[in-house]
């Protein structure tokens, strides 16, 4: 069973700060997805990365897929209270089902 | 709003009982997935259906079963419930096209199951 470890488990910061969360595995994935889940709702897909070394930007969010396709990071610049939520990474081999990490809970205070 | 609906939103029941969770996928999506989310295990894939047929199976207990009907809605049946089955249960849907990578899954709002 492939495992995805996310760190940190919990992060509490002030509005305007920058942060990075990590998703690591000992296994290689053909693709990796990042989701955000807000309280009382289901996860929402933010991005899919498929190429080793790939960097994708979504407004203030920057996603990177490691060169070896075993790890990924999410960097948020100038965090806002609206960024609060549980950030989940999920890996897949080909078209197979997704394996999710346990997530990083982010709290951004005004 | 993802377009995926789940009912009920909350469910409280007793150990040993049986419950049915219902999911209606987005219009046009043929694939339905069921997940269980708990604090200790995180989001765990249970089972996937595509156009009425089982496509993939994950960590689904034998006490649990699911099906997808001709109108594409799906039901997850949980029986002989135990305290440890208390969790959030999510349904997701996708177009279901096979390709190099998983297609986008759209998650419903979930059903919170509490077993007392």
Question: Which tens digits make up the pLDDT trace of B70-101?
Answer: 999 999 999 999 999 999 999 999 998 777 77
Q: Is pLDDT at B11 greater than 90 in this prediction?
A: yes
Contact B102 A33 (CB under 8 A): yes
Instruction: Look at chain B and count its residues.
Output: 116
Pick among A43, A47, A49, A93 to test the B interface (most B CBs inside 10 A): A43
Euclidean distance between CA atoms A46 and A36, whole angstroms: 7
User: From the list A40, A44, A100, which residue is nearest B43 (CB)?
Assistant: A100
Q: Is the link from the previous residue into A8 a cis peptide, with omega within 30 of 0?
A: yes
Q: Cβ distance B106 to B3 under 8 Å? A: yes
- 10 Å CB burial of residue A25 (0-12, 13-18, 19+) is buried
Q: What is the pairing mode between strands A55-58 and A44-49?
A: unpaired
User: Quick count: other Cβ atoms within 10 Å of Cβ B68?
Assistant: 23
Q: Which residues of B touch A5 (CB under 8 A)?
A: none
Q: Residues of B30-53 as b/e, b for ≥16 C-beta within 10 angstroms?
A: bbbbbbbbeeeebbbbbbbbbeee
What's the whole-number average pLDDT of chain A?
94
Q: Is pLDDT at A2 greater than 70 in this prediction?
A: no
State residue A1's pLDDT score: 52
Chain A contact for B44 (CB, 8 A cutoff): yes
Residue A95's contacts (CB-CB under 8 Å, 6 or more residues apart) are B98, B99, B100, B101, B102
State residue A93's pLDDT score: 79
Question: Which tens digits make up the pLDDT trace of B23-80?
Answer: 999 999 999 999 999 988 899 999 999 999 999 999 899 999 999 999 999 999 999 9
Q: What percentage of chain B's residues is helix, strand, coil (to nearest 5)?
A: 5, 50, 45
Whose CA is closest to B21, among B42, B35, B39? B35
Euclidean distance between CA atoms B3 and A110, whole angstroms: 31
- 10 Å CB burial of residue A59 (0-12, 13-18, 19+) is exposed
């Amino acid at each position: 069973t492939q495992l995805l470890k996310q760190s940190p488990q919990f992060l509490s910061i002030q509005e305007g700060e920058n942060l990075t969360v990590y998703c690591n595995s000992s296994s290689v994935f053909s693709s990796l997805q990042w989701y955000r889940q807000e309280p009382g709702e289901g996860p929402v897909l933010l991005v899919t990365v498929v190429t080793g070394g790939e960097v994708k930007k979504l407004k203030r969010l920057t996603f990177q897929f490691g060169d070896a396709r075993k790890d990924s990071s999410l960097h948020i610049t100038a965090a806002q209270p609206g960024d609060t939520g549980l950030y989940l990474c999920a890996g897949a081999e080909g078209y197979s089902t997704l394996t999710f990490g346990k997530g990083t809970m982010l709290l951004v205070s005004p | 709003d993802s377009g995926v609906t789940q009912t009920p939103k909350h469910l409280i029941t007793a150990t040993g009982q049986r419950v049915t969770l219902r999911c209606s996928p987005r219009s046009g999506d043929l694939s339905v997935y069921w997940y269980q989310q708990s604090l200790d295990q995180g989001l765990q894939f249970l089972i996937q259906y595509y156009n009425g047929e089982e496509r993939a199976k994950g960590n689904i207990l034998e006490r649990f079963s699911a099906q997808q009907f001709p109108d594409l809605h799906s039901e997850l049946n949980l029986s002989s419930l135990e305290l440890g089955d208390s969790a959030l249960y999510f349904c997701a849907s996708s177009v279901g096209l096979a390709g190099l990578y998983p297609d986008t899954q759209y998650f419903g709002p979930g059903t919170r199951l509490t077993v007392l």
